[in-house]
Amino acid sequence: FLISGHGTKGVFELLSGWRRTRENLPFKDRVADAYSDVMVSYTMTSSLYFIAFGMGASPFTNIEAVKVFCQNMCVSILLNYFYIFSFFGSCLVFAGQLEQNRYHSIFCCKIPSAEYLDRKPVWFQTMMNDGHQHTSHHETNPYQHHFIQHFLREHYNEWITNIYVKPFVVILYLIYASFSFMGCLQINDGANIINLLASESPSVSYALIQQKYFSNYSPVIGFYIYEPLEYWNGTVQEDLKTLSQGFNTVSWIEQYYQYLRVGNISATNKSDFISILQSSFLKKPEFQHFKNDIIFSKAGDENNIIASRLYLVARTSENTQREAIELLEKLRPLSLIQSIKFIVFNPTFVFMDHYGLSVTMPVLISGFGILLVLILTFFLVIHPLGNFWLILSVTSIELGVLGLMTLWNVDMDCISILCLIYTLNFAIDHCAPLLYTFVLATEHTRTQCIKNSLQVHGTAILQNVSSFLIGLVPLLFVPSNLTFTLFKCLLLAGSCTLLHCFVILPVFLTFFPPSKKHHKKKKRAKRKEREEIECIEIQENPDHVTAV
C-alpha cells in the first residue's frame, strides 16, 4: 500500500508529461520531452524515499520488524523506479505508435472511419472511438480536452483564486491547525495489547473484561530464580522478602516458611530443609501444586534446588499499562545488582518492551531522517523560496496527520510511526512539483502562476491521490486493529496532502512571496529593447516603412 502511492505518482506524472507533448512529433522527441519534464523531479523524490526508509533499515533501528519493513521498501522503490524508467516508457512509445497510426489502444485494430461509425450502434461507437472524431487528429495540445484538465482550467482555478473564497480557506486552515495542535498535545504511546489483536478475537474480549473489572492488579509476573540458593539461610530469606515487598505473592517459599513455623519445625541446615520439603511439605494435598515450581537435582546422595519460581501481582491504579511498564523498569535493574540471580517475565512484557521503544527510538530516527531529507532538498532545489515553502508544507501536513490521528484514537505504535515517516515522503512527492512550477513561473501575477501550476500538475496529483485512497478501501474489511490503524493513518496522509495541494497552497501562495514583479520588469525591459531595435532598423532603412 505504501509503495503504490509513490509508484502511481510516477505513472501519472509521466503519463501527464506524455500527454502534454505534441502528437505530430516523432516518438523519440516525445519520449525525450516527457522524460526531461518528469524524471528529474521523480528521481529526486525516489532518492528521498530511499534515504528515509534507508534510515529505518540501518543498524540504528532496534525494532527488527521496522528494519525488515524498511529494507523491503528500499528494494521496492528501486524496482519501481527502474520499472517507470524503462518498461513504462516503452509502453508509452508503443501507445504513441498506435495513436499515430490510428489503431485502437486496447484492441490494437484499425479504428474505422467516422462515416462507418455513424452507421453502427452507440455501444460500438463508444468502444471504438479514439477521442479524435470531432477534432483534427494532430491537434496542437489535445491534453487540454481531458475532463480533469478542463475542469481545473475552466472552473476550479477560477473558483479557488476568487477573492471571496480566500477568507474561508484561511478560516479552514486555522481550524485545521487548531485541531492538529490540540491532537499533538494528547499523543499517547501504544502500550495497549488490544491494538495487536484481531478485532473479534476472544483475546480482545478477555483484555476488555480484565481492564474493566480487574484493572487494579498488574499481570501475574513470573519471578524465576535460576541459580542454587541457600534458602535455609536467614539472610537469603530477608533478601527474598525485600524483593517481593509491595507485591501480592503466590510463593512456595512463603508457604513453606509458614508451614515450618506452624509445625514448630526447625530447618536451619541444607539437609533438613530439603528433606522436610520433599518428604513432608510437597506430599500434602494443599501444597502438591508447588511441585512444578521447584527443580531438584541429585548429586550422589545429596539433593539440591537448582531453580525455582514464584509469582508476583502488583496492585496498581486505573492506568494499569503505564504502571506495569514502570514496574517492569524497576524490577529489571534489580536482577543485575542483587546477589540473587533472577529474571521476571510475563507474556505481555514482550509487547510492553516493544511499545516502550515505540515513541523514543523511532521518533529520534524519523526526526534525524527528516532533518537529513530537508538538508538534501536544500542542495537539490532550484530556488531557495521553493525549498522554504516545501518545508512549511511538509511540516504542516506532518503535524496535521500526527494531531488528527491522535484525535481519531490512534496510538503511537509501530504502524503509525512508519506511516508518519511515509507521510513525509508522500507530501514531498506531491507538493514539490507544484511549488517549484509556481516559483519558476514567469507569469505577471501570483494568481496566474498558481493557475499554471495546477494546470500542469493538478491532474496527476488528483489522479494519484484518488487512486491511492480508493486502494485503501479493502483495509476496512480486514478484522485487525493494526490494519485499521494503517487505514486511518494513510487516509489522513492522503487527505491532508490533497487539502494542501488543492486548497491551502493555491490560496496562501497568492498572499506571500515569491513576488512576480521582477518578471514584469524583465518583460518590460525586453519589450522596450525590442522596440528600440525596431526603431533603429526603421531609421536605417526608411524605405522599409513604405514597403510595409
Asked whether residue 299 carries a pLDDT value surpassing 70, the answer given is yes
SS3 state at 109: coil
pLDDT in tens, 155-204: 898 999 999 999 999 999 999 999 999 998 887 665 566 777 777 778 78
Torsion angle, alpha carbons of 153, 155, 157, 161, to 10: 150
Say if residues 437 and 459 touch (Cβ distance below 8 Å).
no
pLDDT at 335: 64
For 295, the enclosing helix (H) or strand (E) is strand 294-299
The rounded percent of the chain whose pLDDT value lies above 90 is 14
* Mean pLDDT calculated for residue range 240-269: 86
* Mean pLDDT calculated for residue range 475-484: 85
pLDDT at 242: 81
* Mean pLDDT calculated for residue range 392-421: 86
CA 107 to each of CA 98, 128, 130, 269, 460: distance values in angstroms, whole numbers, following the listed order: 10, 9, 12, 94, 26
Among 205-219, 303-317, 359-373, 449-463, the range of highest mean pLDDT: 449-463
pLDDT in tens, 417-471: 788 878 888 888 889 888 888 888 877 788 888 898 898 888 889 999 999 999 8
Asked whether residue 352 carries a pLDDT value surpassing 70, the answer given is no
d(CA 254, CA 241): 9
d(CA 22, CA 25): 6
pLDDT in tens, 262-297: 888 888 888 889 889 988 999 988 898 899 899 988
d(CA 384, CA 440): 11
- Three-point CA angle 411, 412, 414, nearest 5°: 115
Show the beta-strand stretches assigned E in 201-299: 221-225, 247-250, 294-299
pLDDT in tens, 385-397: 777 888 889 889 9
The three cell numbers of residue 536 are: 533603429
- Which residues, other chains included, contact 435 with Cβ-Cβ below 8 Å and sequence gap of 6+? 386, 389, 390, 393, 453, 505
CA 158 to mean position of chain CA atoms: 33
Asked whether residue 361 carries a pLDDT value surpassing 80, the answer given is no
User: Average pLDDT, whole number, for the chain?
Assistant: 79
pLDDT in tens, 85-115: 888 888 888 888 887 787 887 777 888 887 8
Banded model confidence at residue 505, pLDDT cuts 50, 70, 90: very high
Say if residues 194 and 204 touch (Cβ distance below 8 Å).
yes
Say if residues 84 and 12 touch (Cβ distance below 8 Å).
no
Residue type, 262: V
* Mean pLDDT calculated for residue range 356-365: 57
Closest CA to 393 of 413, 377, 409: 377
pLDDT in tens, 146-169: 778 888 888 898 999 999 999 999
Say if residues 245 and 331 touch (Cβ distance below 8 Å).
no
List residues bridging with 304 in a β-sheet: 297
pLDDT at 139: 52
d(CA 516, CA 161): 16
CA 501 to each of CA 204, 394, 423: distance values in angstroms, whole numbers, following the listed order: 40, 11, 14
Residue 32, phi then psi, degrees to nearest 5:
-60, -45
Lowest mean per-residue pLDDT among 280-284, 339-343, 535-539: 535-539
Q: Is 397 exposed, middle or buried (0-12, 13-18, 19+ CB in 10 A)?
A: buried
d(CA 495, CA 499): 6
Domains and CATH numbers, the chain: 1-131+142-189+358-515 (1.20.1640.10), 213-354 (no CATH)
Torsion sign over Cα 88, 89, 93, 99 = positive
pLDDT at 446: 87
Residue 235, phi then psi, degrees to nearest 5:
-65, -40
The three cell numbers of residue 85 are: 524508467
Among 375-389, 449-463, 488-502, the range of highest mean pLDDT: 488-502
Closest CA to 412 of 426, 397, 401: 401
* Mean pLDDT calculated for residue range 231-256: 85
d(CA 535, CA 69): 69
d(CA 339, CA 75): 49
- Which residues, other chains included, contact 372 with Cβ-Cβ below 8 Å and sequence gap of 6+? 51, 55
The rounded percent of the chain whose pLDDT value lies above 70 is 78
* Mean pLDDT calculated for residue range 234-251: 83
User: Is the full-model pTM beyond 0.75?
Assistant: no
Asked whether residue 528 carries a pLDDT value surpassing 60, the answer given is no
pLDDT in tens, 39-67: 877 887 788 788 778 877 877 776 777 78
Closest CA to 358 of 281, 419, 427: 419
